[in-house]
Structure 1
Amino acid sequence: MRSLRCAFYDAGELHVAEAGAEPGPAPAAPFASLTKLFTATLAMQLAFDGDLDLDLPVGEYLNEPPFAELRLTTRHLLSHSSGMVCDGPGDGGLRAAVAAGPLFAPGTAFSYSNAGFALAGKVIEAAAGVSWRNAVTDFLLRPLDIEPAFLAADEIPRDLAPAAAIAGTVTDLVAFARLHLDDRDASHAALLDQEAVRELAEPPFDTLPFGLADGWGHGWARYGNGADRWLGLDGVGAGATCHLRIQPERGTVIALQADSAAGLGAWQDLLAQFRAEGVDVAGYAPGPAAGAAQDLSDRVGQWANGETVYRIRPGADTADGAHPGATVLVDDDGMEYDLTGRGERFFAARHPRLPEVEHLGRFLLDPETGRADHMQFGGRVLRRVA
């Protein structure tokens, strides 16, 4: 990791710290998935201006195939409750993602989807009458005094831009985050109604983002509950990491950018330091999977979310035969995890070399047949395909 930049805004004061950075103004760095927060905010601006109905089927705005027949709504897309795959298979982009079909009925489950936000951007273009890039620049970035910067087309396909294409600095992230704080000045209030700010933070459906956060609003992940609730999002992409947390009631913002994936560890260290100094940043830490150990042999097969395919197989088939008789999950990178069933639905996944680290997942059961046709792991739903 060559450089790291952090911003802390509290009680109306901004503090910025850097490590390994070159002298001079900070260059724009990828926001990665934090772009989704800008897209969701833009959609809510249009909704409160009367230009976009978040609850109308997107086919009402997009009259071209394959979008015209879609009955899911923009609200489904912004809350990752649409049932769309995360990414389109192959190089087909958004059209391929739609053609892949839904993983589940809209509004019934949570599955993180880049393609869903790409589609939301297309709806925004139809409602605003301009490109997503022009809309987010004119309606959001420039009014917040954020110099517009975007990843090039060779870094991210154009139709995926609303999911991950904005770039900027940690101070830009603070400028954006202040729009979502309770203590807002008149210029922020003119950009986004207070009711819209509240609506963005509220989960619109009873869909638990199991494995990622305690809840999910429109773009925002929710960490903790009640007075201890924080909002935020993390992004990894284009060789960088980007992180944001806000506590709306107290008016606190924490942002960090790093130029490598090592920033993930730096972010955890930073949060631990803030907590030690009395800034109690809520995080997501699900308890250990409870319940008696269960046989998972009936879960053996292939599970897919678009081009992401996981395989569950008997442990006796593993290369080293480390845990014969156990069940093993093989992810799309070939990484193998020993699975332990906990109760009827939940499981714990552990890498044999790091058995102390437990990754939790769960199977979604069909209410009529009781069969496990879907698996939720790493914030994504995968459908059983074989």
Structure 2
Amino acid sequence: MDVDLPARLARLAREHRVPGAQLAVHHEGETVTAETGEETYAAGEPVTRRSAFPLGSLTKPFTATLVMTLAACGDIDLDAPLAEYVPEVGAGRGGPGPRMTARRLLSHTSGLASNLDEGGDHSGARRRWVARHCRESGTAHPPGTVFSYSNIGYILAGHLVEVVTGMSWWEAMEAVLLKPLDIAPAFVVGPPSGFRPVVDGHTVRQPGDRMLPVTWQTLPKVAAPSAGLALGAADLVTFALMHLAHPALQPVLDRDSAREMRRDQLAGVTAGPFGMADSWGLGWAVYHDAGPDWFGHDGTGEGTSCHLRFEPAGGTVVALTANAATGPALWEDLLAELRSVGPAVGGRGLSAPPDPALRTSGPPECVGRYVNGEMELTVVADGAGGLRLTTGEAERFELTCFEGLRFTMRETSGGRTTYTGRFLRDPETGGIDLIQVTGRLARRARDENDAPGGEG
């Protein structure tokens, strides 16, 4: 590529108040890497290729790949009831009917709730945690009916790996996947592995855009399979190239299994991953752009932001790691610049807005309380024809509404990232029954005595 990637990355990092970042691009058979800034703001330790950034949810494609290696060996049937391997999940509500399967875990169609209860007890063995939180009788949606992004589903997928292999998720990740790819592992939580440094995240606060280090990742140990890896941008490129059967890499996953991971898994699903991607495979988001399909995933930790995209037809891969909460804005600007000078990287950002000409007032019938497991979203009228949304963590967002029950949302405290979401009508009653934000689908609570969750 005839592009000065280091200079471009350094400039974007300055513009977005990102203390340190890595960029790796594989294009036309060549991989180029760039690093800029510091692992911790004003601490003097430079970001290097070896620096490991907490990947957040970008851990999920790695866990999905572990599951698929076991499926390729015949140890797991992707479409068998999960209870055959993990009896703790029990039977579905009401007897026969759609069941949780490994395929549904990896494609976020299992029906499991989206997020962990931040105030809950997540200590102890993962098996006991699964028995308490992953039962089929307590799903937020009937399995196989809708896409609803689920961290809990990937915790269960990690437990499935442990049951089948007899190893911990950390041991399996290192032995089965990372070591054959010559990737030195680092983990946010769990047993230490080697001496690879894990960078600090950062928040950017007003006034003055002050950068504040986040020195402790709050991820519970039980949640490691959903967000526990820490790696570098070059490692992410290596991982993607393995999925593309690059001849210089050990084929950890066979071509057919890798192709199945990229196949659209959402046929017949009534609600897709609106605001995140165009569709979803097994661990991979799918982006339908003007040219060939692109695949990838994003992830955020405590003050970190990591992104991966790849395009199988041309073999292009782009990966970014950033140690600030402003990383998503850097990523969006980077994508725009790369598209103007080199590979037309696919995949919109979370903040891609609808057409401003379609803006409308906030429909009053959207007002209400919506729940998904422990996640609770409350939509209220603001008194001026608009809507506001409050989360259970007391975060407040201003909604800008558009035709088709779509909206964008921005933190009222001055956050820089704008997310897209939508309301959905019940096909039988015509009433607004669901809200979808960052892929998570929450159902309207009928009265104040309703418990979160349930199949409705």
What TM bracket, shorter-length normalisation? 0.7 to 0.9
Which of 311, 316, 329 is the equivalent residue of 1:265? 329
Does the alignment pair 1:127 with 2:164? yes
Helix, strand or coil: the match of 2:428?
Answer: coil
Matched with 1:228 is: 292
Helix, strand or coil: the match of 1:228?
Answer: coil
User: How far apart are the structure 2 equivalents of 1:130 and 1:274?
Assistant: 41
What is the one-letter code of the residue matched to 2:422? R
Once the two structures are superposed, the pairs formed by residues 1-386 of structure 1 within 5 Å of their partners are 1-21=18-38, 22=46, 26-64=50-88, 67-69=89-91, 71-89=99-117, 90-93=119-122, 94-95=129-130, 97-98=133-134, 101-153=138-190, 155-181=218-244, 184-185=246-247, 187-189=249-251, 191-206=252-267, 207=269, 208-225=272-289, 227-284=291-348, 285=352, 287-288=354-355, 296-316=363-383, 323=384, 325-332=385-392, 333-338=394-399, 340=401, 342-343=403-404, 346-349=405-408, 351=410, 359-385=419-445, 386=447
Structure 1 residue 289, shift from structure 2 partner: 8.4
User: How far apart are the structure 2 equivalents of 1:123 and 1:258?
Assistant: 31
Structure 1 residue 51, shift from structure 2 partner: 0.5
What is the one-letter code of the residue matched to 1:300? V
Structure 1 residue 271, shift from structure 2 partner: 1.2
Gapped regions of structure 1 (runs ≥ 5): 317-322
User: How far apart are the structure 2 equivalents of 1:384 and 1:241?
Assistant: 31
Count of aligned positions = 372
User: How far apart are the structure 1 equivalents of 2:249 and 2:408?
Assistant: 48
Matched with 2:6 is: none
Question: RMSD of the alignment, in Å?
Answer: 2.7
- Percent identity reads 40
What is the one-letter code of the residue matched to 2:120? D
Structure 1 residue 186, shift from structure 2 partner: 6.8
User: How far apart are the structure 2 equivalents of 1:19 and 1:291?
Assistant: 40
Structure 1 residue 297, shift from structure 2 partner: 2.5
User: How far apart are the structure 2 equivalents of 1:338 and 1:74?
Assistant: 36
Taking structure 2 as the reference length, the TM-score comes to 0.75
Distance 1:134 1:59, change over 3 A: same
What are the Cα deviations for residues 228-276 of structure 1, in whole angstroms up to 9, with x where unaligned?
A: 2111111110321111111111111111111111222221222122111
Distance 1:263 1:326, change over 3 A: closer
What are the Cα deviations for residues 84-118 of structure 1, in whole angstroms up to 9, with x where unaligned?
A: 11123232445454369222211211111111100
Helix, strand or coil: the match of 1:177?
Answer: helix
Moved more, 33-42 or 290-299: 290-299
What is the one-letter code of the residue matched to 1:288? D
What is the one-letter code of the residue matched to 2:324? S
Moved more, 260-269 or 247-256: 260-269
Whether contact under 8 Å (2:289, 2:347) holds in the other structure is: no
Distance 1:359 1:192, change over 3 A: closer
Structure 1 residue 10, shift from structure 2 partner: 1.8
What are the Cα deviations for residues 23-77 of structure 1, in whole angstroms up to 9, with x where unaligned?
A: 765222212111101011111111011011111121111123xx13353111111
Whether contact under 8 Å (1:289, 1:348) holds in the other structure is: no
User: How far apart are the structure 2 equivalents of 1:201 and 1:170?
Assistant: 21
User: How far apart are the structure 1 equivalents of 2:218 and 2:115?
Assistant: 15
User: How far apart are the structure 1 equivalents of 2:102 and 2:87?
Assistant: 15
What is the one-letter code of the residue matched to 2:406? F
Helix, strand or coil: the match of 2:250?
Answer: helix
User: How far apart are the structure 1 equivalents of 2:439 and 2:75?
Assistant: 31
Moved more, 376-385 or 24-33: 24-33
User: How far apart are the structure 1 equivalents of 2:297 and 2:67?
Assistant: 18
Taking structure 1 as the reference length, the TM-score comes to 0.87
Distance 1:138 1:18, change over 3 A: same
Matched with 1:320 is: none
Whether contact under 8 Å (2:53, 2:232) holds in the other structure is: yes
What is the one-letter code of the residue matched to 1:249? A
Whether contact under 8 Å (1:365, 1:374) holds in the other structure is: yes
Whether contact under 8 Å (1:289, 1:347) holds in the other structure is: no
What is the one-letter code of the residue matched to 1:298? E
Moved more, 36-45 or 69-78: 69-78
Helix, strand or coil: the match of 2:321?
Answer: strand
Structure 1 residue 309, shift from structure 2 partner: 1.5
Helix, strand or coil: the match of 2:87?
Answer: coil
Distance 1:256 1:306, change over 3 A: same
Structure 1 residue 131, shift from structure 2 partner: 1.6
Helix, strand or coil: the match of 1:8?
Answer: strand
